[in-house]
Amino acid sequence: MIRSLFQSDIDQILRIEKSVHVSPWTEETFKSCFKAGYLGFAIESHQKVIAFIIISFAVDECHVLNLCVDLPFQHQGLGRKLLEYALNYAKDRGISIAWLEVRRSNSRAISLYQKLKFHQVGERKGYYATVAGDEDALVFAIHLR
């Protein structure tokens, strides 16, 4: 079941974030997203968040800021389901384009984005921190109209 993400979910999404990412968002980053009015959706299983997405809106664009699936639930299509839900939500509200960044090394995510008709439109050098140094981000976009 997909539902809205709430500030009261921060402990759960922070746990997922820390278990999945080398350089995870902090509790303050998540709080800032809620304070800024960014929108989020979650998938729950047994009243526990197992996947989430956070997006921001500006004029007629949206930006996928974070998409994360808990490790035991990966490779089951939950990331795709959340992303499609968020894109449909945006499209229904007149948003014309969606953007996101992805680590160059994240081939599974890149494959998903390409299957959903995202196109690479650029890159950001040294965008992501890693244990071995910085990693480039690939910038993808999709037209929703």
Which of 94, 92, 85, 89 is closest to 116 using CA atoms?
Answer: 85
- 113 catalytic? Reply is yes
Q: Which of 101, 123, 127, 135 is catalytic?
A: 101
Q: Which domains does the chain have, with CATH numbers?
A: 2-143 (3.40.630.30)
- The tokens for 90 are 């945006």
Tens of pLDDT, residue by residue over 6-59, are: 999 999 999 999 999 888 999 999 999 999 999 999 999 999 999 999 999 999
The answer to whether residues 127 and 134 touch, using CB atoms and an 8 Å cutoff, is yes
Q: Which of 113, 127, 128, 135 is catalytic?
A: 113
0.85 surpassed by pTM: yes
- 28 catalytic? Reply is no
3-state SS, 13-34, equals HHHHHHHHCCCCCCHHHHHHHH
